[in-house]
């Protein structure tokens, strides 16, 4: 038997110590993992959504900036319309390399494919589009045909077929998940959207209204070398009734939301770590004090200070690893199961990581728990070895 084995055998002797240390580790690992999952997940989601949008400037009806941003990030349908002539006006602004309109529509409640009550539908113009089209080329090798749609990650074709407003849609492909309701949105062409509207008059309970000669937004790509700020200013000055959102500032309010949430969580995590340190420190002080005589015996048998500290810390590490693993598991499961609820509560979508990434984050949580336990156990352990073995043995 090695010293570590002897030490581990001894762990279960002090149940109170075992429970408090594991519980503290459970909290630390769980909270650290949950925080990592949330922060990384929201960041990933924002980056992904922004990348997919693929525009330098988003031109929207004046005053609807935030609503459109929310729609694009959260996949919650919105009403925002401006004249179709805006597209040409924007395109004419110096520094604009490409401009393409989009229409934001909503499905009727209870779409047959999805769990969302009302699905967000993005209609794009294949003739001018520069954000969806390249992806289609890559994925499908060509444009979308009439009646075809690209769905978010979680859109699937039900057995009875995918229908919106009574119009049958063919699902051509699915996008990568972004972690929000956007995963249940749908992309289709202007032509298909108009067809849906036409058919809906006779086939649906309520018709889909696609206002004539109106668009919801214009996506702008600026010319190489042009300054986004200058171009945005020029659009605001030259095109009446519009607002602009620039890519770097896109989802700014969401970022602030994340920061607020993060600061709140950081405080909780910090306090938990501090309290855990204190708790583990006190419990280990008590436990090592109780065992002073035994530690004296160990020293008499030839244990060095390092042996004593090592085995005490090893016990803390094992307890923390066990509690931490349980905490991480609990936390990962919780975040996974309550994903939608959390998205709703914090108002920002977040992506659950891939398995290897999750494993990495779990390790981070475990490491945090183990470090806290080590730090908590180290001080009392060192203190008890500081006194000479003979006094340790005297009670």
Ligand X SMILES: Nc1ncnc2c1ncn2[C@@H]1O[C@H](COP(=O)(O)OP(=O)(O)OP(=O)(O)O)[C@@H](O)[C@H]1O
State the DSSP string of 68-93.
HHHHHHH-------EETHHHHHHHTS
Q: Counting contacts by CB under 6 A, is residue 391 touching ligand X?
A: yes
Could you give phi then psi for residue 370, rounded to 5 degrees? -65, -40
Closest CA to 381 of 317, 321, 322: 317
Site string for other proteins, 365-394 (x = CB under 8 A): -----------------------xxxx-x-
Select from other proteins, ligand X, none the partner in contact with residue 250, using the beta carbon and a kind-dependent cut-off of 5 to 8 Å. none
Closer CB to other proteins, residue 89 or residue 303?
303
Task: Write down the least CB distance from residue 299 to ligand X, Å.
Answer: 14
Task: Write down the least CB distance from residue 383 to ligand X, Å.
Answer: 17
CB-based contact 214:82 (threshold 8 Å)? yes
With CB under 8 A as the contact rule, which of the stretches 47-55, 88-96, 138-146, 299-307 interacts with other proteins? 299-307
Could you give phi then psi for residue 113, rounded to 5 degrees? -95, -30
Map residue 32 onto helix, strand or coil: helix
Contacts of 301 (CB under 8 A, 6+ apart): none
Distance (Å, rounded) from C-alpha 370 to C-alpha 157?
Answer: 47
Distance (Å, rounded) from C-alpha 150 to C-alpha 389?
Answer: 74
State the DSSP string of 154-219.
T----TT-EEETTEEEEEEEEPPP-SSGGGG-EEEEHHHHHHHHHHHHHHSSS-----TTEESEEE
Contact with other proteins (CB under 8 A): which of 280, 306, 354, 355?
Answer: 306
Number of shown-chain residues binding other proteins (CB under 8 A)? 28
* Gyration radius from the chain CA atoms: 30
Task: Write down the least CB distance from residue 254 to other proteins, Å.
Answer: 54
Closer CB to other proteins, residue 256 or residue 391?
391
Q: Determine the distance from the C-alpha atom of residue 265 to the mean position of all C-alpha atoms in its chain, rounded to a whole number.
A: 14
Contact with other proteins (CB under 8 A): which of 228, 297, 326, 329?
Answer: 297
Task: Write down the least CB distance from residue 13 to other proteins, Å.
Answer: 5
- 153-182: contacts with other proteins (CB under 8 A): none
Contact with other proteins (CB under 8 A): which of 202, 225, 301, 355?
Answer: 301
Q: Determine the distance from the C-alpha atom of residue 155 to the mean position of all C-alpha atoms in its chain, rounded to a whole number.
A: 19
Select from other proteins, ligand X, none the partner in contact with residue 41, using the beta carbon and a kind-dependent cut-off of 5 to 8 Å. none
Contact with other proteins (CB under 8 A): which of 211, 294, 326, 367?
Answer: 294
Contact with other proteins (CB under 8 A): which of 286, 305, 347, 379?
Answer: 305
Q: Counting contacts by CB under 6 A, is residue 394 touching ligand X?
A: yes
CB-based contact 133:252 (threshold 8 Å)? no
With CB under 8 A as the contact rule, which of the stretches 26-34, 176-184, 243-251, 305-313 interacts with other proteins? 305-313
Contact with other proteins (CB under 8 A): which of 13, 47, 289, 345?
Answer: 13
Q: Counting contacts by CB under 8 A, is residue 1 touching other proteins?
A: yes
Distance (Å, rounded) from C-alpha 120 to C-alpha 186?
Answer: 7
Residues at the contact surface with other proteins, assessed by CB under 8 A:
1-3, 5-6, 9-10, 12-13, 293-294, 296-307, 388-391, 393
Residues at the contact surface with ligand X, assessed by CB under 6 A:
391, 394
């Amino acid at each position: 038997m090695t010293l570590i084995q002897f030490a581990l055998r001894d762990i279960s002797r002090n149940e109170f110590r075992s429970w408090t240390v594991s519980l503290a580790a459970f909290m630390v690992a769980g909270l650290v993992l949950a925080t990592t999952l949330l922060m990384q997940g929201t960041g990933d989601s924002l980056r992904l959504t922004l990348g997919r949008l693929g525009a330098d400037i988003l031109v929207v009806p004046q005053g609807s900036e935030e609503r459109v941003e929310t729609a694009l990030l959260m996949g919650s349908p919105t009403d925002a319309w401006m004249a179709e002539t805006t597209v040409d006006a924007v395109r004419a602004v110096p520094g604009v390399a490409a401009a393409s309109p989009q229409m934001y529509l909503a499905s009727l409640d209870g779409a047959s494919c999805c769990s969302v009550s009302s699905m967000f539908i993005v209609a794009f113009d294949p003739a001018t589009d520069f954000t969806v089209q390249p992806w289609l080329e890559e994925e499908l090798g060509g444009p979308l045909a009439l009646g075809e749609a690209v769905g978010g990650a979680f859109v699937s074709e039900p057995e009875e077929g995918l229908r919106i407003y009574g119009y049958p849609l063919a699902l051509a492909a699915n996008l990568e998940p972004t972690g929000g309701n956007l995963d249940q949105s749908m992309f289709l062409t202007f032509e298909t959207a108009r067809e849906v509207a036409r058919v809906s008059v006779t086939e649906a309970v309520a018709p889909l209204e696609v206002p004539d000669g109106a668009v919801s937004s214009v996506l702008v790509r600026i010319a190489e070398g042009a300054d986004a700020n200058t171009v945005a200013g020029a659009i605001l000055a030259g095109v009446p009734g519009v607002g602009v959102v620039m890519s770097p500032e896109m989802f700014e309010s969401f970022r602030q939301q994340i920061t607020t949430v993060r600061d709140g969580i950081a405080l909780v995590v910090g306090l938990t770590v501090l309290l855990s340190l204190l708790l583990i420190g006190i419990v280990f002080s008590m436990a090592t004090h109780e065992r002073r005589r035994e530690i004296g015996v160990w020293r008499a048998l030839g244990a060095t200070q390092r042996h004593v500290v090592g085995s005490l810390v090893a016990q803390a590490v094992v307890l923390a690893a066990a509690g931490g693993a349980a905490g991480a598991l609990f936390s990962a499961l919780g975040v996974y199961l309550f994903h939608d609820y959390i998205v709703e509560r914090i108002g920002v979508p977040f992506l659950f990581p891939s398995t290897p990434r999750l494993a990495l984050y779990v390790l981070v949580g475990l490491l945090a728990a183990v470090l806290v336990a080590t730090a908590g156990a180290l001080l009392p352990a060192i203190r008890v070895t500081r006194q000479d073995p003979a006094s340790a043995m005297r009670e």
